[in-house]
Amino acid sequence: MSEEHCDCLFCKIIAKEIPAEIIFEDEQALAFKDINPQAPTHFLVIPKQHIATINDIEAEDCQTVGYLQLVAARLADQMSFSQSGFRTVMNCNQHGGQTVYHIHLHVLGGKAMGWPPYQETLKTPVSE
Ligand code: 5GP
Ligand code: ZN
């Protein structure tokens, strides 16, 4: 791990400095169970390359970032919920709800998801 990313939680999981329930690993990507699952199955797929946010993706990263979706689909298939369906989400910055600044694809499955993903109460109330 380079010094630049030594404070990154997910770089520490990649380096096995912090434990995680790893379900897939190769040279490019790592997948592990989310510590606070929001669906019967909830895991994260991350690139081994540190990219902080979607805004930091460069053209040369497109294969790496697209590969996360392929890993998600393959794992969903292995876990037998690819046909019933699932959701992948990548949050960006504050309004997107990002809390860990190393891009990660959430994969949520095992039940039907709702839409839209925001609460009506977040809208500005009508003034009296
Ligand atoms: P974000 O809010 O950035 O889109 O998603 C971060 C996700 O990482 C959250 O769903 C959170 O539960 C998960 N997470 C945070 N810390 C850890 C950890 O130490 N281990 C694991 N496995 N997941 C974590
Ligand atoms: Zn990182």
With respect to residue 84, please indicate whether it lies within any of the assigned structural domains.
Answer: yes
| pLDDT, tens digit (0-9, with 9 covering 90-100), for 39-67 | 999 999 999 999 999 999 999 999 999 99
With respect to residue 105, please indicate whether it lies within any of the assigned structural domains.
Answer: yes
If you measure from the C-alpha of residue 46 to the centroid of ligand 2, how many angstroms do you get, rounded to a whole number? Answer: 9
CATH of the domain at 72: 3.30.428.10
Cα angle vertex 40, ends 35, 44, to 5°? 45
pTM: 0.92
If you measure from the C-alpha of residue 28 to the centroid of ligand 1, how many angstroms do you get, rounded to a whole number? Answer: 19
Nearest CA to ligand 1 atom 16: 35
Q: Can you give the pLDDT at residue 4?
A: 58
> 100 CB under 6 A from ligand 1?
yes
CB atoms < 10 A from the CB of 29, how many? 20
Q: Can you give the pLDDT at residue 1?
A: 55
Domain count, the chain: 1
> 91 CB under 6 A from ligand 1?
yes
Ligand nearest the Cα of residue 46 is 2
DSSP state of 15: T
| pLDDT, tens digit (0-9, with 9 covering 90-100), for 12-25 | 999 999 999 999 99
Please spell the DSSP secondary structure of 43-85, one letter per residue.
EEEEESS---SGGG--GGGHHHHHHHHHHHHHHHHHTT-TTT-
With respect to residue 97, please indicate whether it lies within any of the assigned structural domains.
Answer: yes
What is the overall mean pLDDT for the chain? Answer: 93
User: Has residue 124 got a pLDDT over 80?
Assistant: no
Supply the range of the domain harboring residue 106: 3-122
Q: How confident is the model at residue 121 (pLDDT cuts 50, 70, 90)?
A: low
With respect to residue 128, please indicate whether it lies within any of the assigned structural domains.
Answer: no
With respect to residue 104, please indicate whether it lies within any of the assigned structural domains.
Answer: yes
Q: Which of the residues are catalytic?
A: 104
User: Has residue 128 got a pLDDT over 60?
Assistant: no
User: Has residue 3 got a pLDDT over 90?
Assistant: no
If you measure from the C-alpha of residue 78 to the centroid of ligand 1, how many angstroms do you get, rounded to a whole number? Answer: 22
